[in-house]
Amino acid sequence: MELDDETAWVTKTIDTGCNFAAACRVLCDENPSNYLEPLEHIMLDMMTELWDRRFSQSEIRRAFQSAIDDLPRYAAGEERRS
């Protein structure tokens, strides 16, 4: 069954987030140089990449704030997924 354009696009956004998160998990688990807070390094690098690809500071900030604000609902009060 072929997806309509909107559903196909939403599926791509989900896949992109999923693939990024999986790559982050691998990098954090490997961490050969024992960086403190490797996820912070990844996120800082991602911010500069978003900026370099012409997203505005406001767009970046709004997207991350929205995600952070929604995390408690998604996580249902848990600090970490078991």
Residue-wise pLDDT for 5-37, tens only, equals 999 999 999 999 999 999 999 999 999 887 788
- pLDDT score, position 72: 92
Per-residue pLDDT tens for 30-56? 998 877 889 999 999 999 999 999 999
User: pLDDT at residue 66 above 80?
Assistant: yes
pTM (predicted TM-score): 0.83
Which one, of 29, 58, 24, 62, lies nearest residue 44 by Cα? 24
Specify whether the backbone of 27 is left (phi greater than 0), alpha (psi in -120 to 50) or beta: alpha
Contact 38, 27 (CB under 8 A): yes
Cβ pair 39, 20 in contact under 8 A: no
Q: What is the pLDDT of residue 13?
A: 97
